[in-house]
């Protein structure tokens, strides 16, 4: 009889443990902002596609009839592409922490790394001087972005109903200042890229970025900024990111490689983030 009671107690205890585990998973699941995560994943996928395709257009050996080449080597403009992508990686760290993301899915990471193999193959072709149609660049850039888009779709499916729109609070002072400064930094990067001494200026811009990265753990750091940003600031960053990458391609691959084009382009690049900083103060 005692063994029967023990079995009954063990079964009941196991059932209670299962119920407690299910409740804990439900609480953890509800604490994750899947809607924000989905948008973040789509943004990372888009930025990766833009970055890789632009990089290959700058330095690749694509057929020149489809991709005209300016007078300057595209390698000198690679720093223009590297700066916003490094900034984005830091911003995403902060946004991920706000959305309670503790780790990256290993399967997604492996698939993305495998999808980067064509990028390495095209890099070898460039080193060997082999020409290829410029459209290959777009296909190669789309390969690693595709699993990220798929993951974003899965996260969007797990998101609950759209919550009521809460009143937007103003950005805090460090976030406003850093948002505006980031816009000016991007604009300055695009403007200086049109001048012949950009190689020296690019070194200074990279040193400024390294100094900014040392502030990562402070309230003035990029992760903190990414945590504070909401949709208007992210939209401004996306616009500045796209404009800066586009400006680099225009300067490297067209005859518009002039100081005037750089100044006008730099102003356009800076505008979205500067406007977002001003609007953030008035929210």
pLDDT per position in the chain (283 positions), as tens?
Answer: 455 555 455 666 655 555 555 444 444 444 456 777 888 889 899 999 999 998 888 877 655 444 444 444 556 788 898 899 999 999 988 887 766 554 557 788 888 889 999 998 988 888 788 888 888 889 999 999 999 999 888 888 877 666 666 566 788 899 999 999 999 999 999 999 999 888 888 889 999 999 988 988 888 999 999 988 988 899 999 999 999 999 998 988 888 888 999 999 999 999 999 999 998 766 5
How many separate domains does the chain show?
1
39 is a domain residue? yes
pLDDT of residue 28: 44
6 is a domain residue? no
Q: Residue 171: which residues within 8 A CB-CB, separation 6 or more?
A: 179, 228, 233, 277, 280, 281, 283
20 is a domain residue? no
Residues forming beta bridges with residue 132, ordered by sequence position: 62
Residues forming beta bridges with residue 62, ordered by sequence position: 132
pLDDT of residue 126: 81
3 is a domain residue? no
19 is a domain residue? no
State both tokens at 59.
């330095």
State both tokens at 28.
């953890």
Q: Residue 96: which residues within 8 A CB-CB, separation 6 or more?
A: 37, 40
Residue 120 belongs to what domain range?
32-282
151 is a domain residue? yes
17 is a domain residue? no
Whether the predicted model's global pTM rises above the 0.85 cut: no
pLDDT of residue 242: 94
Dihedral pair phi/psi, residue 164, rounded to 5°: -60, 145
4 is a domain residue? no
């Amino acid at each position: 009889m005692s063994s029967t009671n023990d079995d009954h107690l063990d079964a009941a205890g196991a059932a209670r443990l299962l119920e407690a585990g299910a409740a804990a998973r439900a609480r953890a699941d509800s604490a994750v902002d899947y809607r924000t995560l989905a948008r973040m994943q789509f943004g990372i996928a888009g930025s990766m596609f833009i970055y890789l395709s632009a990089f290959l257009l700058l330095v690749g050996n694509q057929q020149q009839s489809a991709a005209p080449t300016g007078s300057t080597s595209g390698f000198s403009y690679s720093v223009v592409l590297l700066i916003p992508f490094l900034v984005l990686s830091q911003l995403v760290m902060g946004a991920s922490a706000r959305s309670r993301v503790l780790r990256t899915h290993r399967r997604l990471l492996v698939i993305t790394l495998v999808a980067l193999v064509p990028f390495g193959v095209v890099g070898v072709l460039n080193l060997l001087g082999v020409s290829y149609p410029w459209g290959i660049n777009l296909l190669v850039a789309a390969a690693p972005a595709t699993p990220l888009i798929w993951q974003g779709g899965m996260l969007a499916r797990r998101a609950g109903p759209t919550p009521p729109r809460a009143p937007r609070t103003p950005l805090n002072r460090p976030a406003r200042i850093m948002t505006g400064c980031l816009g000016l930094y991007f604009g300055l990067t695009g403007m200086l890229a049109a001048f012949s001494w950009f190689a020296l200026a690019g070194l200074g811009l990279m040193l400024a970025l390294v100094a900014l990265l040392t502030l990562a753990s402070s309230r003035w750091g990029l992760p903190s900024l990414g945590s504070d940003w909401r949709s208007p600031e992210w939209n401004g960053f996306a616009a500045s990111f796209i404009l800066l990458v586009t400006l680099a391609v225009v300067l490297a691959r067209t005859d518009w490689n002039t100081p005037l084009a750089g100044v006008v382009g730099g102003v356009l690049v800076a505008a979205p983030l500067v406007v977002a900083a001003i609007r953030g103060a008035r929210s």
